[in-house]
Structures are given as structure tokens and as C-alpha cells.
Amino acid sequence: MQGLIPLASKHAVALRDLEEKSLNMSEEGLTVLVVDDDEYDRIAMHRALARTSPDAEVHDVGSLKSALSLLTKRSFDCAFVDYKLPDGDGLSLLRSALGLGITTPIVLFTGLGDEALAVDALHGGAVDYLPKSELTTERLRQSLDRIAVSRTRPHKARVARLDSSLGHLFRAIDNAAESMMITDSEGRIEYVNPAFTVLTGYAKEEVLGQTPRLLQSGSTPAALYARLWQTVMAGGVWRGELTNRRKDGTSLESALTVSPIFDEHRRLEGFVATHRDITREKILAAWMERLANTDGLTGLLNRRHLAARMEQELARARRYSRPLCLMLVDLDHFKRINDRFGHLAGDEVLAGSAQAIQEVSRASDLVGRYGGEEFAVVLPETAIEKAEPMAERLRRRLAAKCYNLYSDAAVAVSVTCSVGVAQLGAEGGAESLIAAADAALYSAKTAGRDRVEVAG
């Protein structure tokens, strides 16, 4: 709460000035424009205004174009504008009114009841946001009070309520669950709420007068920051995700919203930013992606994802006329391992074999579990002359790996493999390449296993 006091000083001065005036809009004969294409909603507004301001002079239009035409010809004490109009929406009318220099205070009047829409309306220059479901005498009187303040014609009896509302607003920001930061027009921090301290580890005193750059991790592209500033300096609201850094140096994945703050003359006063910690969401998303794309036992690409990645590599090889080979690797007599030592032992052999294959593969190769005890390795930028010795090196590596499957740790078991290798031909695609490698693998099996065969 105390952190907001300096920001509120000019408002406090304004409130003292208001105590010297005595205009009450709800008791005067108002001129009101109601912009709504729904006849029943217009009638409801007429009745509410009749209860609040019996002498009000109310005019109706049903479209954005008609409203702008009337607002440019004459002035009104206020305008209640429906969000959904036949030829646009209330936010568009707000922007157009500002562009045309129309000074009539505008209240966005909608049946949506959306908090994000309320924020956009207030940021866009609306004096208030009034859901149709809240159209009561008291609520309408509150809107008229805000309109009165915006026209610098408030009543003394309303000053106390405004002061109370301001205090309520400050307390709400201080107690908000989301991290909030307010800066001046140069980006220097004027206020942060307690949630900011919880999120970042920085105390308020450590950041006041600083810029948000102290949170930068160095991993967010400069182009993203450039788009952020371009958006907010043009008067827009920027929403996006970036990686920040806490005071202790740990990474913080943030969902960030930055909005410009304008004074009553649409001059830029500063910016307000909200941060939401999405680190856990990012970790969960990465875990879900890994779960969907990898084999749970070996950590290799699963068959579905391997096929999709292989299609991409095939397309690249075709486009740039580059060589590509495929190795199919099958563990010899694997069924004997399961039958003699059990499936847990079989899983150990599969995981160890996957690790060995990865160790002899390049970073550019795609390694996946193709099914059961069979693995596949896609070799981009590799002709058959280079792929064959790579397959031989892989075969020797697997044969040299030992597993302690007996109760006697001194007795180790090794598992050999057969490998079929094929190169992408001038014709055909993934199906023909897999068929060629599979035929070569079959030849290796029938020739005695523990060998490499190349597709003819």
C-alpha cells in the first residue's frame, strides 16, 4: 500500500480541489447518448436513467457510424456504448472518438462481463465498464460519478467515495496474486507489489528507480523486446512469453502483459506490467511432448515420431539432391533373453542397446525404437560408402556390451545384432527405403546373424 502513495500524490491534490466544487451529475439535467442496437437494452437504460436522473435528455442510435456522426455534431455529458454493434464494436468507437478529438466521456456497456474486455476498455479510454447484468440505480450512479470526475465537475459528496475507491484499488493491487510493476514513461520502476517480490526475489527498495532490464536472463531474443516496445509505444497492449531471471539467478518463465498508461489528454504517463509464472507449465508441456514423441523405456524417438522426422529428412534430401541412408538394427536371439532371464532383464538389454547406439551415432542422426527389439537409425548427408562402416562400428559396439543377468556377477552376457543398410534411391520414398533396409536385415539374419548387409 505504501508503495503506491507517491504515485497517488497528484490524485490526492485533485481530490482536495474537488472538495471546493459542488456539481452532482445525477441531479442535473443530463444529455446522454445511448448507442445500442437492441431495443430492449435501450429501454432498460432509459428506465435506469429515469430513476437516477429524471431530467436527463436521452438520445438513441443503433450503430457505430451513427454514433460518431452525432458525437462530432454536438456534445453530450456522457455516452453509454454497447460493445457489440452491427458495424463494429465499442472499442473501435473509443479509438475513433479519440482520433476525432471527441471529448464526450464514454462508458462501455456490455452483456459479456469479461474482465479482459474491461481492462482493454479502460486502457482504451473508457471512463467506466458497465456490465448489463449490473444495471442497477446504484451502479449507474457510480458510473455517472466517474463521468463527473472525468469532466472535472464532481460533487463534494462524491469525493469521499472516490477516495475510498482509490484506496480500495491500491489495496487490491498490493494484494493481487499476480506480480505487478508500474514504470514511468522512460521505463523506470515506480512501484512493484508484494507478489513481484515473491516471484522474483527482489525487494521493492532494490528495484525502485531501476528498469525491468534487471530481470533479463539473456536468453530472450532481442527482436522480441523490440516488438514489445514497438507495440506499447504505439499505444497497444503487448502479450507474450519470455524467460526472466530471479535474483538468485534461476530462470523464470513468464507470461507478460504490458500496457501503456495515458493521462486524460492521451499523453503517455508510463506502463503497467503483469507477470505470471509459467515455469511449471513449460516443464509440464516439455514432459508431455517428450511423452508423446519418445519411447518410454529407451528414451529414443518412438516409431510415430521417427517416421515424421524421417519424412522431413527425406524431403530435404530430395530438395537438395543429398544422400541419405537408413539402418535397421535387430538384436539377435532376443527372445532367449526374455525366456531365460525374464522381461525385466530384457528391458535392461533394450535400454543398454539403445544407449550404445546413441553413443556411436552422430548428433545429426535420428535414432528411434522401431518396434520390439528393433531399432532404426536415419543417416542424413550420408552415402552408402560411409554408412556401411558406421553400421559395422555400431555392430561391434553392441556385441562388446556386457550385461550382468546371472546371479553370479562374474558371469556376463553379451547380445549381438544384425544390421540392414539401404540408401535412398532416385525413385521412391520412405516406404521403399524401409523395405530395402528390411530386406538387407533379413539377409543378415539368414546369413548367420551378427553381421551387416547392404541393400543391393
Is 289 among the domain residues? no
DSSP class of residue 74?
S
Task: Determine the residue type at 231.
Answer: T
Q: How confident is the model at residue 218 (pLDDT cuts 50, 70, 90)?
A: confident
Range of the domain at 317: 294-454
Is 109 among the domain residues? yes
More confident residue, 116 or 5: 116
Q: Which of 238, 254, 282 is the last residue of a domain?
A: 282
Shared-domain flag, residues 310 and 369: yes
Q: Is the pLDDT of residue 427 over 80?
A: yes
Shared-domain flag, residues 212 and 361: no
pLDDT tens per residue, range 349-379? 999 999 999 999 999 999 999 999 999 999 9
Asked if residue 140 lies in contact with residue 153, where contact means CB atoms within 8 angstroms, the answer is no
Q: Which of 105, 121, 154 is the last residue of a domain?
A: 154
**The CA-based dihedral angle spanning residues 101, 106, 111, 113, taken in that order and rounded to the nearest 10 degrees:** 100
DSSP class of residue 193?
-
Shared-domain flag, residues 266 and 327: no
pLDDT tens per residue, range 135-161? 888 888 888 888 877 765 444 445 556
pLDDT given for residue 127 in this prediction: 85
User: By mean pLDDT, which of 53-62, 167-176, 281-290, 337-346 is the weakest?
Assistant: 167-176
The mean pLDDT value for 276-299 works out to 86
The CATH number of the domain holding residue 364 is: 3.30.70.270
Q: How many domains does the chain have?
A: 3
Q: Which of 118, 137, 154 is the last residue of a domain?
A: 154
DSSP class of residue 450?
S
Task: Give me the long-range contacts of 226-234 (CB less than 8 A, separation at least 24).
Answer: 228/258, 231/258, 232/258, 232/259, 232/260, 232/271, 233/260, 233/268
Shared-domain flag, residues 277 and 298: no
Shared-domain flag, residues 149 and 232: no
Q: Is the pLDDT of residue 80 over 70?
A: yes
Q: Is the pLDDT of residue 237 over 90?
A: yes
78-82 and 106-110 strand pairing: parallel
Distance of CA 42 to the CA centre of its chain: 39
The CATH number of the domain holding residue 135 is: 3.40.50.2300
417-423 and 452-454 strand pairing: parallel
Per the confidence metrics, is the pTM higher than 0.75?
A: no
Is 195 among the domain residues? yes
Cβ-count burial 34-49 (b if 16+ within 10 Å, e if not): bbbbeeebbeebeebb
pLDDT tens per residue, range 366-419? 999 999 999 999 999 999 999 999 999 999 999 999 998 877 666 789 999 999
Q: Is the pLDDT of residue 44 over 80?
A: yes
Q: Is the pLDDT of residue 134 over 90?
A: no
Is 273 among the domain residues? yes
pLDDT given for residue 280 in this prediction: 85
Of 117, 97, 107, 92, nearest in space to 149 by CA: 107
Shared-domain flag, residues 438 and 303: yes
Q: How much of the chain, in percent, has pLDDT values that exceed 90? A: 43
Is 95 among the domain residues? yes
Q: How far apart are CA 238 and CA 216, in angstroms?
A: 17
Is 164 among the domain residues? no
Is 168 among the domain residues? no
Q: How far apart are CA 269 and CA 274, in angstroms?
A: 17
pLDDT given for residue 453 in this prediction: 96
Shared-domain flag, residues 256 and 303: no
Shared-domain flag, residues 416 and 320: yes
Is 173 among the domain residues? no
Q: Is the pLDDT of residue 345 over 50?
A: yes
pLDDT given for residue 159 in this prediction: 53
Bin 189: left if φ > 0, else alpha if -120 < ψ < 50, else beta. beta
Q: How confident is the model at residue 5 (pLDDT cuts 50, 70, 90)?
A: very low
Shared-domain flag, residues 350 and 438: yes
The x, y and z cell numbers of residue 325, run together, are: 541412408
Q: How confident is the model at residue 9 (pLDDT cuts 50, 70, 90)?
A: very low
More confident residue, 188 or 264: 188
Provide the mean pLDDT of the chain: 85
pLDDT tens per residue, range 26-42? 445 789 999 999 888 88
Residue 309's contacts (CB-CB under 8 Å, 6 or more residues apart) are 301, 366, 378
pLDDT given for residue 317 in this prediction: 95
pLDDT given for residue 21 in this prediction: 40
Shared-domain flag, residues 109 and 197: no
Shared-domain flag, residues 389 and 414: yes
pLDDT tens per residue, range 240-281? 998 889 999 998 888 999 999 988 888 898 999 988 888 888
pLDDT tens per residue, range 294-333? 998 999 999 999 999 999 999 999 999 999 999 999 999 9
Residue 412's CB: how many other CB atoms inside 10 A?
A: 12
Asked if residue 80 lies in contact with residue 32, where contact means CB atoms within 8 angstroms, the answer is yes
Asked if residue 406 lies in contact with residue 337, where contact means CB atoms within 8 angstroms, the answer is no
Asked if residue 395 lies in contact with residue 452, where contact means CB atoms within 8 angstroms, the answer is yes
